[in-house]
């Protein structure tokens, strides 16, 4: 069964989330099975699904002897699918919103440590126009925790060099103000005044970041850029623009930032989404304890 909404979500997992092929295949299989059970083979069918339909699906799984962990993974995939649809305005509601997972396993976002971030940010050759642009994009992404979709859509007019902030349009078309650190703001001033004009061709697009042909940067192109510098810096972890966003949040919390403040900076509608980063830090503390304590 081919469902256009499912195809869009799979593309999102590959490009935006940079999940592995095996993970994407597993998630897609879970959601495809669910949609098949509900006989939802188009957008109308997907939007017609109710919590009762989901409960019926999981009752069938239980009757078939599917383990709680496997059912939890399937619910996680279905929940991710609907959250994506709601965020992209392809669905009006998330029927999984009030459902509890049959397993306590929780996905912990992957993050770089501070040394790896520093290595990544210093890879571009700032003496070239492309290198200066790439260095600016990487610095801004890590300094603000923006989504890659927000980064590539920032307009030159959205940057307030005097106030030290920029305005972005986040999920749900919600505008928010993002503070920018002094270092990144100084780089922005130089980029806008000296580097960006070198990319302008016949027309001057409003977007802040341009390609060598003078058009707006795309998320696919930026994904290739960040992977190139990770490879150059010898960073062996799977890396994507989203990883820098995770790193931004994790490092703020590690240094004592208030959870509510981090929520606002990330643009999370619910603090429960931000709280997952506290689990990362607990895991990090456990790792440090195991390595450092004589009886670890």
Supply the residues annotated as catalytic: 147, 171, 242, 245, 268, 277
Q: Which residue is listed with tokens 């440590």?
A: 113
As a whole number of angstroms, the distance between CA 106 and CA 109 comes to 10
Which parts of 41-181 fold into alpha helices (H)?
43-48, 51-63, 68-87, 114-121, 129-144, 148-153
- Greatest Cα-to-Cα distance within the chain, rounded to the nearest angstrom: 67
Bridge partners, 165 (sequence order): 160, 179
Bridge partners, 178 (sequence order): 166
What string of DSSP letters covers 147-192?
-HHHHHH-BGGGEETTTTEEEEE-GGG-EEEEE--HHHHHHHHHII
């Amino acid at each position: 069964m081919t469902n256009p909404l499912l195809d869009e979500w799979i593309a999102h997992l590959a490009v935006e989330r940079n999940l592995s092929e095996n993970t994407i295949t597993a998630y897609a299989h879970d959601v495809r099975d669910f949609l098949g059970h509900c006989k939802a083979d188009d957008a109308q069918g997907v939007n017609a699904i109710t919590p009762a339909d989901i409960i019926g699906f999981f009752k069938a799984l239980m009757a078939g002897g599917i383990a709680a962990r496997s059912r939890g993974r399937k619910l996680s995939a279905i929940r991710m699918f609907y959250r994506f649809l709601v965020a992209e305005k392809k669905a009006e509601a998330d029927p999984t919103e009030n459902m509890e997972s049959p397993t306590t396993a929780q996905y912990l976002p992957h993050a770089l440590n501070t040394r790896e971030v520093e290595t990544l940010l210093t890879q571009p050759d700032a003496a070239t126009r492309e290198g200066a642009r790439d260095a600016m994009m990487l610095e801004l992404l890590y300094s603000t925790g923006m989504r890659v979709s927000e980064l590539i859509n920032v307009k030159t007019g959205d940057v307030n060099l005097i106030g030290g902030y920029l305005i972005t349009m986040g999920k749900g078309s919600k505008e928010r103000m993002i503070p920018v650190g002094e270092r990144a703001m100084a780089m922005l001033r130089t980029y806008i005044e000296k580097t960006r004009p070198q990319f302008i061709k016949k027309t001057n697009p409003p977007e802040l970041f341009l390609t060598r042909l003078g058009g707006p940067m795309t998320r696919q192109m930026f994904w290739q850029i960040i992977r190139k510098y990770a490879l150059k810096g010898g960073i062996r972890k799977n890396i994507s623009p989203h990883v820098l966003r995770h790193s931004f949040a994790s490092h703020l919390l590690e240094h004592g930032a208030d959870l509510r403040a981090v929520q606002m900076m990330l643009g999370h509608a619910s603090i429960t989404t931000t709280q997952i980063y506290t689990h990362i830090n607990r895991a990090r503390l456990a790792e440090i304890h195991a390595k450092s304590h004589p009886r670890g």
